[in-house]
């Protein structure tokens, strides 16, 4: 039976490796997770795109999920990416994650094959037959080669009690509203991008890659939306887009992944570099170092902006008392 309720900004985490990338570094993982807790992050999602799930062995998968769940101690919720292009593997990963104590699963449709709606439905049906914990659909046409329509999402929501969440990353922010309408408000939409606009259209949370290096600021951005401080949240989002453009310039769609790890390290939490075939930060040379300095300057702006917002809110509460 589903008992978990997911809300707010959940960091979709990097997977920390040792310096040569040959193994998962549990010490680095635990320090990184403690940082998320200290920043007030309500939950993490491991083995998503940012977590390089395609480069992780089955043994490493079990190790990472076990370590993340054990370290939580109830301090944060744990969702696990259990997708695979082969349905039996996705079923096995999902069952294993549930058995290891995961609170929920995030699952993209079978990638590469460009599956039909019926094939996608059968894939999720097989997984739902095997687990009882909540499932977050993951709609990302760039990586899955399929855009799940609001009608298909409504069909899945109606058929399976576990399917009550979706990460909506189709780049069509209006889809948030379409899904809420098509499901009669039953589906809980998490923003995959543009969190401010998504919130205004009905999203209840944010699958947040920026939490890997700005966990407090981006968690506060979502909380500000819930508190009705839309302009303050929009200001933080604009600053995030400012450094996002620096990262994206000159890189292919996922060629920027290495920056997530380099930036976490620059914030005091080393997590190693990415695995092949992704571009390693170390290989970027002067270009990477120059961009890193530019981005960290924007981080200073973001930290100052959030501190100013927090100070103004504290003064307001003091005067109200």
Q: Is 167 a catalytic residue?
A: yes
User: Residue 287: how many CB atoms within 10 A of its CB?
Assistant: 10
Q: Is 9 helix (H, G, I), strand (E, B) or coil?
A: strand
CB 136 within 8 A of CB 167: yes
CB 204 within 8 A of CB 166: no
Residues in Cβ contact with 152 at an 8 Å cutoff, skipping those fewer than 6 apart = 117, 120, 121
For residue 129, give Cα distances in angstroms to 65, 86, 156, 157: 21, 16, 13, 14
Q: Is 280 a catalytic residue?
A: no
CB 134 within 8 A of CB 104: yes
In 3D space, the residue among 157, 159, 163 whose CA is nearest the CA of residue 178 turns out to be 157
Q: Which of 76, 123, 138, 269 is catalytic?
A: 138
Q: Which of 167, 210, 216, 291 is catalytic?
A: 167
Catalytic sites, residue numbers: 138, 167
């Amino acid at each position: 039976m589903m008992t978990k309720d997911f809300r707010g900004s959940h960091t979709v985490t990097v997977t920390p490796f040792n310096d040569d990338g040959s193994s998962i570094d549990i010490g680095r993982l635990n320090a990184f997770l403690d940082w998320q807790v200290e920043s007030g992050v309500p939950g993490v999602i491991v083995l998503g795109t940012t977590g390089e799930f395609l480069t992780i062995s089955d043994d490493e998968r079990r190790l990472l999920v076990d370590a993340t769940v054990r370290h939580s101690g109830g301090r944060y919720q744990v969702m696990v990416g259990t997708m695979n292009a082969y349905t039996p593997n996705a079923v096995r990963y999902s069952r294993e994650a549930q058995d290891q104590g995961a609170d929920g699963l995030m699952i993209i449709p079978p990638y590469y094959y460009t599956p039909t709606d019926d094939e996608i439905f059968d894939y999720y049906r097989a997984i739902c037959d095997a687990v009882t914990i909540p499932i977050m659909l993951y709609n990302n046409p760039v990586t899955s080669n399929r855009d799940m329509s609001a009608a298909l999402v409504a069909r899945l929501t109606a058929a399976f009690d576990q399917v009550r969440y979706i990460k909506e990353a189709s780049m069509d922010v209006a889809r948030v509203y379409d899904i809420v309408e098509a499901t009669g408000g039953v589906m809980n939409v998490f923003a995959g991008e543009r969190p401010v606009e998504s919130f205004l259209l009905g999203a209840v949370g944010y699958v947040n890659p920026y939490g890997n290096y700005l966990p407090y600021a981006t968690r506060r951005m979502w909380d500000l939306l819930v508190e009705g401080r839309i302009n303050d949240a929009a200001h933080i989002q604009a600053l995030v887009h400012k450094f996002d453009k620096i990262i994206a310039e000159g890189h292919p769609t996922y060629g920027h992944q290495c920056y997530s790890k380099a930036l976490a390290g620059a914030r005091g939490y080393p997590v190693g570099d990415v695995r092949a075939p992704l571009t390693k930060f170390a290989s970027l040379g002067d270009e990477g170092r120059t961009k890193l300095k530019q981005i960290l300057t924007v981080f200073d702006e973001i930290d100052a902006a959030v501190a100013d917002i927090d100070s103004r809110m504290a003064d307001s509460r003091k005067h109200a008392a």
